[in-house]
Amino acid sequence: MPKHACEESVRRLYPRPQWSYVHPMTVLPIARMGHPILATPARPVDDPTGPETRRMIADMIETMRAVGGVGLAAPQVHGPLRIIVYEVPAARNDGEAIPLRALLNPVLEPVGDEMAEAREACLSLPGLSGRVPRHTRVRWRALDAEGQPTAGEAVGFHARVLQHECDHLDGILYPMRMPDLSTFGFVDALRDDTPEKPTAPEKPTAPEKPTD
């Protein structure tokens, strides 16, 4: 995405008077599996509207879009804070697009017992994928980019993204949620013979873009 388009998205998260806190933005390095920060629970954000928090959110958005993810958690860019950003395209969420959001100190609560298993990938585990069971519906609450309480309910892929990203805040990577490690491996070597939706039986299937 062009840099000016990313800047405009961040402008929508922040009122114009605060824009000086988040400009310019930087693409941050991604922490990969094995780095201690990915195994360490993140700490709560104490100053939601402070300049350091705003800069972190803006840089996370820039990074997420630069690498083609739909979500990103602060520990993935070496930030030990409970912050996630995400943006879900309609094509991956049954036709419903979820606009850009930044959630601070998010809390998730499953709604019902229904679970679904699907492939996930992760920017912190490049080239790898595996099938992960997740709750199909969750209720969430957090602070928004302006430090105001916000809440909602997520279903399907939206719910999966939230669970994946919030796991990062607790030092959990998706392989730790996998009941069957035989489905875990390198994308270019995997064949998924049990997808959620029918596919041609002889066509190798690669997972979609990373969940984050």
- Could you tell me the CATH number of the domain that includes residue 144? 3.90.45.10
Residue 172 in any domain: the answer is: yes
According to the annotation, is 6 in a ligand binding site? no
Q: Is the pLDDT of residue 199 over 80?
A: no
| Residue 206 forms part of a structural domain | no
Beta strands 137-143; 115-120: pairing state: unpaired
pLDDT single digits (tens) 33-92: 999 999 999 999 999 999 999 999 999 999 999 999 999 999 999 999 999 999 999 999
For residue 155, being part of any structural domain is answered with yes
Cβ atoms of 58 and 10 closer than 8 Å: yes
Please list the active-site residues: 165
Model confidence, pTM: 0.84
The answer to whether residue 184 scores a pLDDT higher than 90 is: yes
Assigned domain for 203 exists? no
Domain count, the chain: 1
Given a contact cutoff of 8 angstroms between Cβ atoms, the answer to whether 94 and 157 are in contact is: yes
- 207 within domain boundaries: no
| Residue 143 contacts residue 45 (beta carbons within 8 Å) | yes
Residue 18, in any domain of the structure: yes
DSSP state string for 77-140: GT--BSEEEEEE-GGGTTT--EEEEEEEEEEEEE-SS-EEEEEE--TTSTTEEEEEEEESEEEE
Q: Does the pLDDT of residue 19 top 60, yes or no?
A: no
pLDDT band for 10, please (50, 70, 90 cuts). Answer: low
Q: Do the domain assignments include residue 202?
A: no
- Does residue 199 form part of some domain? no
Determine the structural domain holding residue 74 and report its residue range: 3-88+98-189
pLDDT tens for residues 123-170? Answer: 999 999 999 999 999 999 999 999 999 999 999 999 999 999 999 999
